[in-house]
Amino acid sequence: MSVTPFIVLSAILFTIGCVGVLTRRNAIVVFMCVELMLNASNLALVTFSRANGNLDGQIAAFFVMVVAAAEVVVGLAIIMTIFRSRRSASVDDASLLKY
Amino acid sequence: MHVTAVQTDGVFSILWLVIALPALGALVLLAGGKRTDKWGHWLGVATVAASFVLSLILFFALLGKDEGERQYTQHLWNWFSAGSYSVNIDLLYDPLSAVFLLLITGVGALIHVYSVGYMEHDERRRRFFGYLNLFVASMLVLVLAADYVGVFLGWEGVGLASYLLIGFWQHKPSAAAAAKKAFVINRVGDIGLSLGASLIFVTFGSTSFAVVSAHADKASGATLTAIGLLLLLAACGKSAQFPLQTWLLDAMEGPTPVSALIHAATMVTAGVYLIVRSNFIFSLTEDARTGVIIVGTITLLMGAVIGCAKDDIKKALAGSTMSQIGYMVLAAGLGPAGYAFAIFHLLTHGFFKANMFLGAGSVMHGMDDDVNMRHYGALRKAMPITFATFGIGYLAILGVPPFAGFWSKDKIIETAFGDNFLVGMCALIGAGVTAFYMTRLMLLTFGTTKRWEKGVHPHESPKVMTYPLIALAVLSAGGGLLLAGDWIVDWLTPVVGEHEEHHLAVGAVGMSLIALAVVAAGVAVAWFLVGKRPVPKEAPSKVSVFTRAARADLYGDAFNDEVIIKPGVVGIRGLATVDRSVVDGLVEGLAVALTAISATFRRVQNGLVRSYALTLLGGAALVLLTLLAVNFG
Amino acid sequence: MVAFWILAPVMVAAALGLLFARKAVHAALLLAVVMISLAVLYAVQDAPFLFAVQIIVYTGAILMLFLFVLMLVGVDASDSVVETIRGHRLFSTIAGLAFGLTLVLGVAQVSFGTVIGLDSANKDGNVPSIAQILFTRYVFAFEVTSALLITAALGAMVLAHRERLTPKPTQAQLAAQRIKDYAEHGKHPGPLPPPGVFARHNAVDTPALLPDGTASEASISRVLAARGTVKSAPDIAADINELDTPGGDA
Amino acid sequence: MSDFPWLTVMLVVPFLGAVAMPLLPKSLSVENAKRFALSVAGVELVLGVIIGLKFHNDGGVQFTENHEWIKAFGAHYALGVEGLGLSLVLLTVILTPIVMLAGWNDGDEGRWSPRAFFAWMLALEALAVGVFSATDVFLFYVFFEATLIPIYFLVGGYGGPKRAKAAVKFLLYNLFGGLVMLAAVIGLYVESAKAGHPSYLISDLAKLDISTDVGRWLFLGFMVAFVVKAPLFPVHTWLPDTSESATPGTSVLLVSILDKIGSFGMVRFCLSLFPEASHWATPAVVVLAIISIIYGALMAIGEDDILRLIAYTSVSHFGFIVLGIFVLNSQGLQGSNLYMFNHGLSTAALFLVAGYLIKRHGSASIRDYAGVEKAAPLLAGFLLISGLAVLSLPGLSPFVSEFLVIVGAFVYSPWAGAFAVTGIVLAAIYVLLMYQRTMTGPLREDNATITDLNLREKVAVVPVLLLMIILGLFPKPLADMLNPSTDHSLSQVGAKDPAPTVSDSAEGSAQ
């Protein structure tokens, strides 16, 4: 059970998450891609935890999940308020803060 | 000759008072303000007269001393010192400065008395006398200073006084412009003096006459020539010699006593004084002396030619002054032989030229300040005393035997022939032309028919003006006595050094006869051209090219304007635009460029979160690549 | 390792699907697939606690939160594929590829050495040992994250809260408003009729019958009507006739 | 000398005055507030005179104080003053009360209150005294930058229409110079740290043997700041703009005192800390100085605005000062040391009198004046005397210094002397041209309203004119104060005066 395939998978998922964040315009989908990136990193953490033989990796993954939860809660609340005031969930619409 | 002066003692210690009195007078009159108006002018006259008396005392005391130790120095205070170079305010009293002292204070006193009358109804008379006293004080500093920088102090002081006096009637724009022109051209001359002083310091380690005269022979020929030429440049500036002569004619804008004192008797001769005082340098360099001779000759002829064509009586006299100083510079240039005669001619010229200028002043006073000779005519009956004194001056300048001019000018022509024939001939021709324009002036003013303007009825000037005229007439008549038994030459030998008399092919008496013949010819020509024919009221326009040139001062001013002033103005205006656009432009431009660059970079902030994410990812990729490159490269 | 080789392609396909899904709900479901297969991988990697937490907390709660918000925001809001920022898609893919390739190549070349495995760490069970470490070394982090969660909840509440701009209408005002509507627009002041109650049908999509036998619109929710999933009155009435005929004379 | 901290007191007194000005009770009328400021400046003047009298000429650096300030990089709060520093401190304490008196109601219609106007002047005086007496490079640098602040507010708050732009331009220009100098100051720290315990005291730094390259770079760092401060040719454009839109009093403080920091710094820092670099840079700086002399003079001739004209004359005079410094012989250096004091006086006089003229008629352009001499003879007289001082007429103090600089330049190379001396002719032209256009000729009708000087204005300018005449004829006290510091600087730079060519040395230079 060598480590490399897991890490490669994690890298691929992370990259897909990145490209998803860049290309998708619906705020919620962008958010999902962010979650995907977080999960990819969790996978790497768990894999390394097993490779190094101590549980710190898993605890780190656990904390990542906690933070992800907090982030999602606040993120979605923001998206809700933007949607309520702007009637659109597209990321490009909220672009007033510019030159 | 070496300047080995001994500390003043006894009567000579009053030397500094000669300067202090007029300086004090100037201070009181200028700072005094309205309160001194009533008696101000008499204070002015008193101070100069007092210092004249002192100079007489000093003169007779010096006369008492025997030949050897007739040089006294008085140390006042150390002016400034820097490293090894220290400059003292010392006074040097020797035969040369004694003679100058008498001339300045004597003629000065007479002119002060004259100007009491002349400036009678000028509300700023007090200030006029203040400036005159300031002038006399600075001139005395110039002739008594024992150090080139001391001379420079007097030199510029005199320049300032001439600026103030030429531009005395400041409300006349022409007077102000003339004053500025005089000062600036004098300043150009001063370049010569300051550079000369610097070169002297570099060569001799000090600028005091004593040190320089002691070591003059050790310096290299080239340095001495350079110093000589620089001093010549200074002399040209101050004495209105050839390259820097344009300001003298404009200086006639000032009141007539000013022209008499400054632009005839004293200041313009400062250049000659400087050359004669630096004889220990000039006698060692042949080339510098030839330069002086050339400049003297050219100015001699130029002045004469200009004098012929001028209708303004003061400008004609100014032209003649320029040519007479040309004579003196020529004489000074002839080396040890000529120094004494230059000073002798300077003295006699001081008497008769001041006399004639004051005469012209009294004529103008009578003709209510009209200077154009074409409006004069037949004034001999209206102003007998002025006519008489002016006549004596006229005979003196011509060089008619008993009068002063004959003795001094002939000597110069004689020595000129001794030195080189061409120069002698120029001097001779100059004498002839002088005769022509002086006779023309006399005829136009006193002879020929009455051409007075309407409502002008000339009258004799008051006594306070005619007495100085008479005094000066006596001096210009008896001036020749100074040469009795070569007294002046022996008197000046301790200063200018020994000179053996060398004989001409044709002998002294023959020389004088030739000169007299040339003068007679000049008078005759003037008589036929001006005396016989009716004098038109306005200057005729169709005239020969020479007269037109002479009227334009031989294009001296035109040359300065074309070559220096016009390109200068254009250059400065160009420089101003360069300064604004290039130098300032660079600075302002830098600011504009920065704002432009920042404007382009601002566009990156387009508010779209996804493009920010893109730059984020790009950055991360870059970091990763560099890490890989660094670790695995 | 077999599980890995099966799940890996599924996860990657699901992730790519997430990238190109037109409708947001499909994206959410694909994400769920990825998360669940991840949970399995955790299990494979001797991390049973995380397997459980992943399924329960991550997929169960957070993803459901997504769906909930999706429902609020309009589940059918599919965004057009056309890219608005000039050259953005091109650069994004380039940057993504560059990043991904470097990551993968970098990782691939690195040799991670022998895998020690978690047997010794999990000897008295994965969860007790995690708890043991969590509450000794990381107790501070644990407390901080709990504070974080509280603030997040508070934050969400504050963000979503909307101040009432106008005063809350009182009961009297509501009654007066109803009567005014009735007077002006003839709107029925009483409550809407409940859906029809029949022998076999009382669901919310069965309309109530007016006295003349026709279905009443007010008894059905507008959304269902808009969606067209409302039962028509006649089929319901059809059962009633059968009951009359067999025996009863009323 | 008692170890009474004279210099710190002289630093603190005006500073307290400045701080007290805005705190004065509102009930105090503006006039009294101004009188308070003037009295503080008067006290400072008295202090200046006291240390002037206590200073004995060949005692090297006196009134020294030295306290550890920042241990980490060896910065000390070290004050001390020798001949040159003392002369500039005296210049500051003499000119500030005069400027206050002359610009009595210049500060009335500025952006801030007249109190602030006088407060900033006092602050400026304090900082100027500090700059001239700092014997620690770091302390000097702090004061060097601090002086920009009061000037920025004085120029920006009170003055002509374009004052805001001019103030910003002044600030940025001098800050640029300051930052370059900061780099050099840090370089110095590195050097002194390398040689054991880092210290910024000039005495310690002078002992370091810095390698030629590093020495040259540090020299350039300092020189750039000082060339910007004492404006020479390429970096001078901020001076005319600033003095055009600032009040004449502020321009006096700026040009007569603060620009001297540039030339003072060259003597105090560039020459003593980097002797080899000074020799290396001499030809370039001499050429730059001569260009400034001629360029400044030509620009002054072409200028129509009086204040800008005076500013350009200062550019020309700074050319002379820097020329005197970098010909590295005692005549040149003594000349420029004297020049700094004399130029302060002559430019102050010219600025103040021009300020009176402009205040009476509003416009600063020469074209709007003609024949004012008839309406205000005294003002014309004062303008003429200060003009003559600026063109360094013998008998007035600037002549002595300018003549020495020309002699020094001539000793360095005849060509340098020849080009520098053209400056005196150009000076005559721009002063007399300005005087002739404004004062002489028939009186213009709109100039008829110009009144003559009132008592306050006379009392402000007369002392400066008297000082110039006295120092012109008898500069001994000032010269003796400066001679030791000239010889000291020259010995530090290791420059000896060339012996006169006709040097049968025995009796040649004996006299």
* Residue C76 or residue B293, greater confidence: B293
Confidence label for C78 from pLDDT (cuts 50, 70 and 90): low
**Is C85 within 8 Å of B625 when comparing Cβ atoms?**
no
Rounded mean pLDDT, B92-102 = 88
Q: What pairing do the DSSP bridges indicate for beta strands D75-81 and D62-70?
A: antiparallel
- Type of residue numbered D55: F
Cα–Cα distances (Å) from B527 to B442, B533, D11, D482, in that order, read 10, 9, 83, 69
Q: What's residue D507's pLDDT?
A: 42
Residues of chain B contacting residue C92, judged by C-beta atoms under 8 Å apart: 610, 614, 617
Residues 152-191 of C with CB under 8 A from A: 152-153, 155-157, 159-160, 162
Selecting from B602, B610, B614 the residue whose C-beta is nearest the C-beta of A92 gives B610
CB B46 within 8 A of CB B60: no
Q: CA B58, CA B9: separation in Å to the nearest integer?
A: 12
| Phi-psi category of residue B194: left, alpha or beta, with phi > 0 → left and psi -120 to 50 → alpha | alpha
CB D133 within 8 A of CB D6: no
Q: What's residue B60's pLDDT?
A: 87
- pLDDT tens for B171-213 read 888 888 899 999 999 999 999 999 999 999 888 888 888 888 8
**Is C85 within 8 Å of B617 when comparing Cβ atoms?**
no
Domain boundaries, chain B: 341-551, 553-600, 603-633
Residues 6+ apart with CB under 8 A from B586: none
| Phi-psi category of residue D395: left, alpha or beta, with phi > 0 → left and psi -120 to 50 → alpha | left
Closest CA to D343 of D278, D256, D446: D256
Q: CA B231, CA B147: separation in Å to the nearest integer?
A: 14
Minimal-distance CA residue of chain C relative to A40? C38
CB B26 within 8 A of CB B131: yes
**Is A91 within 8 Å of B614 when comparing Cβ atoms?**
no
Highest mean pLDDT among B301-305, B508-512, B548-552, D146-150: D146-150
Strand partners, D365: D305
Q: Taking 70 as the threshold, does the pLDDT of residue A86 lie above it?
A: yes
- Number of helices and strands in chain D (H, E): 23, 2
What pTM was estimated for this model as a whole? 0.82
* C25, two tokens: 């709900």
CB B274 within 8 A of CB B234: yes
Query: Over pLDDT 70: what percentage of chain B?
Result: 98
Min Cα–Cα distance to chain A from B601, Å:
10
The domains located in chain A, with CATH, are 4-86 (1.10.287.3510)
Minimal-distance CA residue of chain D relative to B218? D502
- Based on its alpha-carbon atoms, the radius of gyration of chain A, rounded to whole angstroms, reads 17
Residues 6+ apart with CB under 8 A from B214: B2, B3, B4, D507
Other CB atoms within a 10 A radius of the CB of residue B87 amount to 25
Q: CA D106, CA D34: separation in Å to the nearest integer?
A: 12
* D216, two tokens: 């040259």
CB D401 within 8 A of CB B191: no
ipTM: 0.75
Confidence label for A67 from pLDDT (cuts 50, 70 and 90): very high
**Is B195 within 8 Å of D442 when comparing Cβ atoms?**
no
Closest CA to B152 of B22, B274, B8: B274
- Chain-centroid distance of CA B181 in Å reads 13
Q: Taking 80 as the threshold, does the pLDDT of residue C134 lie above it?
A: yes
Q: What does the DSSP assignment read for D158-197? A: SBSTTHHHHHHHHHHHHHHHHHHHHHHHHHHHHHHHHTSS
Q: What's residue D506's pLDDT?
A: 38
Least confident of B8-22, B538-552, B561-575, C212-226: B538-552
**Is C57 within 8 Å of A43 when comparing Cβ atoms?**
no
CB D136 within 8 A of CB D143: no
Rounded mean pLDDT, B237-263 = 87
**Which phi and psi angles does B356 have, rounded to 5°?**
-70, -40
Q: What does the DSSP assignment read for D75-128? A: EEEEEEE-HHHHHHHHHHHHHHHHHHHHTTTGGGGSSS-HHHHHHHHHHHHHHH
Closest CA to B250 of B308, B185, B347: B185
**Is C19 within 8 Å of A24 when comparing Cβ atoms?**
yes
Q: Taking 90 as the threshold, does the pLDDT of residue A34 lie above it?
A: yes
Q: Is C100 helix (H, G, I), strand (E, B) or coil?
A: helix
Closest CA to B195 of B216, B223, B154: B223
* Residue B492 or residue B142, greater confidence: B142
**Is B83 within 8 Å of D443 when comparing Cβ atoms?**
no
Q: Taking 90 as the threshold, does the pLDDT of residue A62 lie above it?
A: yes
Selecting from D395, D499, D503 the residue whose C-beta is nearest the C-beta of B157 gives D395
**First vs last C-alpha separation in chain C:** 75
The greatest distance separating any two alpha carbons of chain C, rounded to the nearest whole angstrom, comes to 91
Residue with tokens 């704002």: B595
Mutation to test the B interface, candidates A22, A30, A86, A97, most B Cβ within 10 Å: A22
C-alpha dihedral, A64 to A69 to A75 to A79, nearest 10°? 140
**DSSP code for D30:** H
Within 13 Å and on the Cβ side, how many CA atoms surround A9?
A: 28
Closest CA to B221 of B198, B195, B203, B238: B203
Min Cα–Cα distance to chain A from C167, Å:
21
Minimal-distance CA residue of chain D relative to B160? D393
Closest CA to D230 of D338, D392, D136, D344: D344
Q: CA B363, CA B317: separation in Å to the nearest integer?
A: 13
Mean pLDDT per block of 10 residues along chain D (511 residues) reads 78 91 83 89 92 83 85 86 90 92 83 88 93 91 93 88 88 91 90 83 82 89 92 88 90 91 90 88 93 92 90 93 91 91 93 90 86 86 92 89 91 90 90 89 82 87 92 88 87 80 50 38
Environment class of residue D480 by beta-carbon count within 10 Å: exposed (0-12), middle (13-18) or buried (19+)?
middle
Q: CA B587, CA B598: separation in Å to the nearest integer?
A: 17
**Is D508 within 8 Å of B204 when comparing Cβ atoms?**
yes
Other CB atoms within a 10 A radius of the CB of residue D69 amount to 16
Residue with tokens 């009455």: B450
Q: CA D342, CA D339: separation in Å to the nearest integer?
A: 5
**Is B608 within 8 Å of C96 when comparing Cβ atoms?**
no
The greatest distance separating any two alpha carbons of chain A, rounded to the nearest whole angstrom, comes to 53
Q: What's residue D32's pLDDT?
A: 86
Rounded mean pLDDT, B115-130 = 85
* D188, two tokens: 């110095």
Q: What's residue D510's pLDDT?
A: 39
**First vs last C-alpha separation in chain D:** 36
Q: What's residue C241's pLDDT?
A: 58
C54-59 CB contacts, 8 Å cutoff, 24+ apart: C54/A42, C54/A65, C57/A65, C57/A69, C58/A39, C58/A65, C58/A68, C58/A69, C59/C32, C59/C35
Q: How many residues does chain A have?
A: 99
Q: Kindly state the helix (H) or strand (E) to which residue B86 belongs, with its residue range.
A: strand B85-93
Q: How many residues does chain B have?
A: 633
Q: Is C38 helix (H, G, I), strand (E, B) or coil?
A: helix
Residues of chain C contacting residue B610, judged by C-beta atoms under 8 Å apart: 85, 88, 92
